[in-house]
Chain A
């Protein structure tokens, strides 16, 4: 009984810590007109074309990051587990580097390295550099999620079974490995998505019209709109994650059973 009480106690403390600021932000966003509750701040945000553009830009960037990251991470993690298990600690170390290298250092290093290439000479090039930076930022989350996913299936036997049935490496990756780490990949993708949607430093330093710099800009020039934007972006990010999960639901259900 006492144990149950403490479980609920800590749950309520945690929920309060999370929900009270959210409610306070929501409540504040409704006070744009003195003396009344209104959605004026929301209307202002939604009518601002920069909001739609920056959100759409970051959304596309996040999807591109997830796709490229998956294409890099899944074959790498697969090959390391299958053929180079001794390299695993080394690869893990490299994937953790984004935790210790500040974003500002990362972006200046990239900009300097590619300063005389098309990557810094054009808007599209800078976007590629931005996605490249985000792919690096996603490594710790994506690699760990995929690595754990691969460990939950017997990749050695699955690979050999597919080989004995005539499959080459591309077929094995596309038809056997990718579908079976889909769930793990999704969990890494959710975190990557949330990070990219709110990222400020790299996007601002590469002068990209992303959602993070827009939020920052709004916060420095308006009073109630930033709060409304925070609530909107919170809702949209969750909606986007729910959509990704819904798309991946079929595959999840298939591989979720006991093995």
Chain B
């Protein structure tokens, strides 16, 4: 039996359905992220686990106990908010010790636990400061320590890094993961940042319009998207219009150029229109791949320098695609307006039907190659 279970959870606000048929089982010590665009129901689901919202139907079970009707202050759940939500009238130490004080723990125990947590978050010398005297990153670390102080059964984090700048976000992300592993606490993390979700999670729950689109490891979600939504939402994707030539052998044409895909295109038939989905990092300049590859020629539309990588946009006749090159100051990048031929492996192609993902996704080997 899983440690945390959401069983057919449904939540409506009047006529508007926020979460529908949500089923999830989280193991003890697991780190699960809810990933999706704004309004997809991820925060509502988290708030139902916390007890701030009551499911319209369905059950929430933590450690074998049905907590669906339990008020939030009796669930023993730690929560970290995007806004930090530190109590402005209390010092850092008082904030961290607040939950223990409510639980009427002895003063010595509270002091020891607060010191312990201050050490874990590397803020031992900040105990007497007030929240307004801290930076955003420090405040969020205190919020994390405060949530952990009560030794909660489940730790919930609601977009905790959204208000921080990129550098602090990256370091705090690492810190959260290390602390979570160190304490072995079951964690649910809400984010709309796919990179964050992939870097932190044991599993990701991709959500859209109140429904689960896919549950899987970051590797699976990225490389084997189960739906068209997941394929387009997680990572950058090129969508190229193609026409099937021979479904049995996986042959299509893109603007008259033959393209092979790794597997059968059935149940599509010859002449059917499909979309080819290809990750930018799986496309290379012509001549860089040794194996049998597909080629497409076009004109460089623009080149964007993104630091570690350079993203090149190529205009085909009617389609457009992006591909990435690793930044190398010694090499000359393609120039806008010049002709270019790019190549990609048949395994790199995901074939999307009109409504949903109808073809098996790219193979593990292709993904590994990326």
* Interface set of A (CB-CB < 8 Å, partner B): 153-154, 157-158, 160-168, 171, 175-176, 179-180, 182, 251, 254-259
Contacts and interface: CB of A to CB of B under 8 A. Distances in A.
Interface residues of B, number: 32
Contacts of B156: 164
A157 B102 contact: no
A164 B132 contact: no
Nearest to A258: B132
B176 to A, nearest CB: 17
A166 B89 contact: no
A64 B78 CA distance: 40
B85 A255 contact: no
Given A157-B83, A165-B99, A255 B88 contact: yes
Given A164-B147, A165-B99, A165-B146, A259 B79 contact: no
Contacts of B130: 254, 257
Contacts of A182: 89
Interface of B: 50-52, 71-79, 81, 83, 85-89, 98-99, 102-103, 130-133, 143, 146-147, 150, 156
A251 B72 CA distance: 29
Contact of A160 (B79, B133, B143): B79
A160 B143 CA distance: 13
Contacts of B88: 153, 180, 254-255, 257, 259
Contact of B87 (A163, A180, A256, A258): A180
B79 A161 contact: yes
Given A154-B85, A157-B85, A180-B88, A166 B79 contact: no
A160 B72 contact: yes
A257 B133 contact: yes
A257 B132 contact: yes
B83 A166 contact: no
B19 to A, nearest CB: 18
A166 B102 contact: yes
Nearest to A250: B89
A254 B95 CA distance: 13
Contact of B150 (A158, A165, A257): A165
A176 to B, nearest CB: 6
Contacts of B86: 161
Contact of B99 (A160, A166, A254, A259): A166
Given A154-B85, A165-B99, A180-B89, A259 B131 contact: yes
22 contacts: A154-B85, A157-B83, A157-B85, A160-B52, A160-B85, A161-B143, A162-B87, A162-B98, A163-B52, A163-B71, A165-B146, A166-B73, A166-B74, A166-B102, A167-B73, A167-B102, A175-B87, A254-B88, A255-B89, A257-B132, A258-B132, A259-B88
Nearest to B99: A165
Contacts of B77: 164
B87 A160 contact: no
B53 to A, nearest CB: 11
Give the top 3 A-B pairs by smallest Cβ distance, nearest first. Answer: A257-B132, A165-B99, A157-B85
Nearest to B130: A254
A175 B52 CA distance: 20
Contacts of A171: 102
A87 B72 CA distance: 25
A44 B99 CA distance: 59
A195 to B, nearest CB: 28
A175 B83 CA distance: 19
A166 B102 CA distance: 6
Contacts of B99: 165-166
B188 to A, nearest CB: 13
A179 B98 CA distance: 14
Given A154-B83, A171-B102, A257-B132, A164 B89 contact: no
Given A164-B147, A171-B102, A158 B87 contact: yes
A161 B76 CA distance: 12
B103 A166 contact: yes
Contacts of A254: 88-89, 130
Contacts of B74: 166
A163 B85 contact: no
Contacts of B133: 257
B69 to A, nearest CB: 15
Contacts of A167: 73, 98, 102
Given A164-B147, A176-B87, A180-B89, A259 B132 contact: yes
Contacts of A153: 88
Given A165-B102, A258-B132, A251 B89 contact: yes
Contacts of B52: 160, 163
